[in-house]
A and B are shown apart, each in its own frame.
Chain A
Amino acid sequence: MENDVHTNEYTGDDGRIVDLLAGLPRVAAPPDFDVRVRARIASGKAEARSGFRLPAAVAYGVGLGVVLVAFGLFGVFWMYSGDAEGVPAVATVDHSGQAEKTSNVVISKEPPIPVSDDTVAAARTPVPSATDPSPTVEVKPDKKVAQTPEIKPDSAQRRARTIYPKGIDPNLVITPQANAAERGKPIQVKELLSFLGVNSSFAEGGWRVDSVSANSTAGRLGLKAGDVITAINDQAINENTSFAGSFSGKSLQIRRNGQNIHVDLAKK
């Protein structure tokens, strides 16, 4: 190349400076220079083919925004779902006299039945299900209706007779639907004995015990297979005897090996 060799046309100090600079040793590119250039070009082509790419700051910002929005939505859903679970359904009252059903609650106008304070407090617990019959709740009609529906548990029992949820008529009787359906239904002896843990069949003039569940009332009483139950609550029983739904057990009459044994249920 013509520029590789240049002559010094200067004289004096300028010429000396030019000679000093021209005398500096020249450095050469490393042997793998061409390979590295081709590699850089290839990587540049690959980046060009990859198309549009967001700057790193924008990409991180978008990602952070998505995460924040997701957390926000989760929080909103969590808040509303928490309210739905925490507040039981409130029955609307039909003041025209027609019973109205909401959830598992039946509201009807029946004569009120006196109950204790404990019973009123129990009525403020969440609405019972159909398989969990609760006692009938009565509220005396001559009490004032308070406007505040939220009552602390400690004060609930103390003021149970004067404070009622908003929209609830204290003159109405709230009865669990399942209890209403089964109320008055007679209980057969076989079913009654099964409540005590006795699997029985009618034989030998009474209800013979076929087997006794280990952890049951009958098991704790000492009933054994082969015993014949002849009376309940001092009432002689036969194959078709039944008791009222409000039955409560007090005593059993048992015949074992020809001897009659009286068992007091109240002591067990």
Chain B
Amino acid sequence: MPLDNIESLDTEVKRTTVADEKLSDHELILAAKCGDEDAFAEIVGRYRNQITNFLYRFLNDYDEAVDLAQETFVRVYFAIDRYHTQFAFSTYIYRIATNLAISEIRRRKRRKLLSLTGLFQSDEDADVEYQPADERSLPDADLIEDEQSRTIAKAIAALPEKYRVPILLRDIEGRSYDEIAAIMDLGLGTTKSRISRARGLLKEKLDHYLK
């Protein structure tokens, strides 16, 4: 390649990168369908933290959350041809992440049923549903949560799945009711009802912090 073409190529790459940042999710997905790896990398960059945080609050396990978040993007990549733009991409990817998280929760339940240690747990522990305590240290010092945060996380983890998913999407991820209804494939009224019910359950568990 002639030396005088290098500068123009570099300029084009920068222009393409800037253009990717301005593209909508649908446009990036369309580019990724055509084999643009940079477009898919931009999609990953946009949603990796949101999906990781959502899954962490859902599972209360950082490593598992990161693993499932990566799996979420892998599934998006291999199912990209089946993606339709009639839904927002965020709806699509949250739906995949939710399904993966629910599968993981059920897998944990089966594992707990097979575990002999589950027979000796107290009723109070059973209220926390399936959730084994994550004794591992968090990977980042910034993630060290205070007592209040741990109590809230434990209360969220104790919620049934059908209440936990919508309240996480609404009050932590800030998704709209319409989008949550689409993610959970529920009616709008049912979605609002479940969110309200989830808040009521949390109030019972977190009344100490509400005074």
* A contacts, CB < 8 Å to B: 3-6, 13-14, 16-18, 20-22, 24-30, 33-34, 36-38, 40-41, 44
Contact = CB atoms under 8 A, between A and B. Distances in A.
B139 A17 contact: no
A40 B62 contact: no
B175 interface: yes
B56 A27 contact: yes
Contacts of B139: 30
Contact of B172 (A22, A33, A41, A44): A22
B199 A6 contact: no
Contacts, number: 95
Query: What are the 6 tightest A-B residue pairs by CB atom distance, in nearest-first order?
Result: A6-B174, A21-B171, A29-B48, A3-B174, A29-B52, A40-B74
Contacts of A29: 48-49, 51-52, 66, 69
A23 B90 CA distance: 22
A126 to B, nearest CB: 66
A21 B164 CA distance: 12
B171 A22 contact: yes
A238 B13 CA distance: 119
Contacts of A22: 171-172
A3 B90 CA distance: 11
Contact of A21 (B62, B66, B152, B210): B152
A26 B142 CA distance: 9
B173 interface: yes
Contacts of B52: 27-29, 33
A21 B172 contact: yes
Given A21-B172, A33-B48, A44-B74, A13 B53 contact: no
Contacts of B174: 3-6
Instruction: Point out which of A3, A5, A28 has the most chain B C-beta atoms below 10 A from its C-beta.
Output: A28
B206 A17 contact: yes
A37 B74 contact: yes
The SS class assigned to the B binding surface is: helix
Interface in B42-91: 44-45, 48-49, 51-53, 56-57, 62, 65-66, 69-71, 73-74, 77-78, 90
Contacts of B28: none
B49 to A, nearest CB: 5
Contact of A24 (B66, B74, B152, B203): B152
B21 interface: no
A17 B203 contact: yes
B176 A3 contact: yes
A5 B175 CA distance: 10
A36 B44 CA distance: 11
Given A3-B176, A17-B171, A24 B70 contact: no
Given A13-B210, A24-B172, A44-B78, A33 B203 contact: no
Chain B, interface size category, equals: 35 or more
A27 B70 contact: no
A41 to B, nearest CB: 5
A37 B44 contact: yes
Instruction: Point out which of A18, A20, A41 has the most chain B C-beta atoms below 10 A from its C-beta.
Output: A20
Contacts of B45: 34
B206 A24 contact: no
Given A3-B173, A33-B52, A36-B70, 18 more contacts: A3-B176, A20-B206, A24-B152, A27-B52, A27-B65, A28-B49, A28-B53, A29-B51, A29-B66, A29-B69, A33-B48, A34-B48, A37-B44, A40-B74, A41-B74, A44-B74, A44-B77, A44-B78
A24 B44 contact: no
A17 B71 CA distance: 31
B29 interface: no
Interface string B157-191: 00000000001000111111000000000000000
Given A3-B176, A20-B206, A25-B142, A33 B66 contact: yes
A52 to B, nearest CB: 17
Contacts of B196: 14
Nearest to A48: B78
Given A33-B44, A33-B48, A34-B44, A27 B143 contact: yes
Contacts of A38: 41
Nearest to B172: A21
A3 to B, nearest CB: 4
Contacts of A24: 57, 145, 149, 152-153, 172
